Amino acid sequence: MVKGYRMPDGFLWGGAVAAHQLEGAWDVDGKGVSIADVMLAGKNGVPREVTDTVLPDGNYPNHRGIDFYHTYPADFKLMKELGLKAFRTSIAWTRIFPNGDETEPNEAGLAYYDALIDEMLANGIEPVLTLSHFEIPYHLVTEYGGWRNRQLITFFERFARVVFERFGDRVKYWMTFNEINNQTSWMDPHPMLQNSGLKDYDEADAEELMYLASHHELVASALVTKAAHEINPNIQVGDMIAMNPVYPATSKPEDIMMAERAMQARYFWGDVHALGQYPNWLRKYWDHKGFDIDVTPEDEAILAANTVDYVAFSYYMSWTVTDTGDEWLAYNEESNHGDNPFLQKSDWGWQIDPVGVRWAMNWMWDRWHKPMFIVENGFGAYDKLEADGTVHDDYRIAYFQGHIEAMERAVVLDGIPLIGYLPWSGIDIVSASTGEMLKRYGFIYVDLDDMGQGSGERYRKDSFKWYQQVIASNGEDLEV
C-alpha cells in the first residue's frame, strides 16, 4: 500500500463543478441568459468567442452541459457509490433572477435547487454552494456594464439573501465569487468578462476597470457575509481564490522581490476578504497610476467588519517570474511569468506541481490565519473510452496521488486546518476556459463529445475505484 496520512474525522472528501458547465437546460423554467450562454466553443489553444446575442446556429456548449438538470438523481447515486461526503456546485444567478435586477425571484429556479439539495442530502452528500461562478446575468453586462457599476452590489446582495433564506437551513458552506483573482490577467478579455461582466471597454482602461469592479465585488462579498450571519449564524462564508504559487525564476534577489510582488498582486483579494483591508503597497500603486477606485469610508467599514469564515481555493499549477527592472514592480500576468524547468506539463500547458499545494497552504495560513477548503484541484486530459466501457486514466491517479499526499502533509505534519478536499470535477463537464468536453477532469466519464454528440451514458474510470478507496481509508490508502 502506498501509505498516505489519515485525515481528521469529519474531513469532507468530495467533488466540485459549476452550474453552467453541467446543468444544460439553459432556457428552461424561466432561466435567463448568463455570460456563459453567449460563449461559443473553443478548443486547446483557441479561445472562446463571445457573441452579442445567442446566435441560432452557434455551438454553445454550456447550453447543453451534460444534462445534469435532468440526470442529477442518477448522478448523485453514482457519487454516493464513489463515497463522496460533499459536493460543490453553484446556484445559477439567472435561474433565481433571470435578468439579475428583478425584485422578486423566480420560484421555479428556487424549486429546482430545493430538489437538488435534498437529493444530495438523501445520498449522504453535504452541499457546498458558490454564489457567482462565471454565471453573471448577461442583462447586467449589457444594461449596467457589469461590476464596474456599483448598483450590482444591491442586486447581488438581494440574490444572496433570497438563497440564504431558502437553503441556509440545509447548506452550511458557501462561497461568494469563484476565483475572484483570475482578474489579475486584466489584459485578457475572458477573465474580465467571466469574473466581472466587463466588455466593450478601452484596453488602456482595463487595469483600472479591473480594480474598480473588484472593489465593488469585495464590498458585495462583505455585505453578503454579513447577511448570511444575520440569517443563520451556522452559515460559514468563504472567499474563493485561484491559488497558483509564483516562484522566483532564480535565487537572484531581484527575482525574489518580483515573485513577492507577484504573490501580493495575485492575492490582495484574499487580504481584503480575510483581513478586512487593502494592503499599503496597492494603495500606493493606485496613487502612482492615477486610478480612481472609489473606496469610500463606508466601504472600508463594511470590509473591516465582515471578514470571511474560511479561505477556499483552487489549485492547478505554479509558475515562475523574473525581474522586469520596474521600480514599482508592476506585474503583468500575461507576459511576466515563465516555466519551471523542474516540472512537467499537462496537454494544456499547465505545470504539475504537487509540492506547491503544501507550500501554498503554509503561505496562506501564515498570512490569513483562516481555516482552508480546497474546492478545486484536478487534471484535465484526453480520456479514451474503451469498447468494454473502461477508461484507463493512470495519469490522473498519479496526479492525485502527489497532490493529495502534499495536502495531507500540510494538515498532519504542518497543522494547517483544512475543512475538506473537493477535486475538480467528479464527473466530466464542459470546460469553462475552452468549451471542450474532451478536456476531461472527472472520475466519471460522460459519453459526449465537443459537439454534444454521444449517448450521454456515464462510465466509471479507473480513477473512480482509486478515489473510492482513498475516501474509504480517509486518505490513508493511496495505492493504485
* Nearest of 116, 213, 215 to residue 167 by alpha carbon: 116
Q: How far apart are CA 264 and CA 287, in angstroms?
A: 17
> What's the maximum distance between 2 C-alpha atoms anywhere in the chain?
64
Handedness of CA 398, 313, 431, 170 (dihedral sign): positive
376 catalytic? Reply is yes
Which is it for strands 126-132 and 173-177: parallel, antiparallel or unpaired?
parallel
**Triad 10, 378, 11: Cα angle to 5°:** 5
> Quick check: 236 and 87 in contact, CB under 8 A?
no
- How many angstroms separate the Cα of 343 from the Cα of each of 278, 334, 354, 458? 34, 20, 10, 33
Q: How far apart are CA 2 and CA 283, in angstroms?
A: 49
412 burial level (CB within 10 Å; 0-12, 13-18, 19+): middle
Cβ contacts of 197 within 8 Å, gap of 6 or more: 35, 136, 140, 141, 145, 146, 147, 152, 213
Catalytic residue among 135, 179, 376, 405: 376
The residue with cell 477535486 is: 423
**Triad 364, 368, 370: Cα angle to 5°:** 95
The answer to whether the bond into 433 is cis (omega within 30° of 0) is no
> Quick check: 76 and 54 in contact, CB under 8 A?
no
Q: At what angle do helices 107-122 and 151-167 cross, to 10 degrees?
A: 50
Q: How far apart are CA 287 and CA 212, in angstroms?
A: 14
Q: Give the residue numbers annotated as catalytic, written as ranges.
A: 376
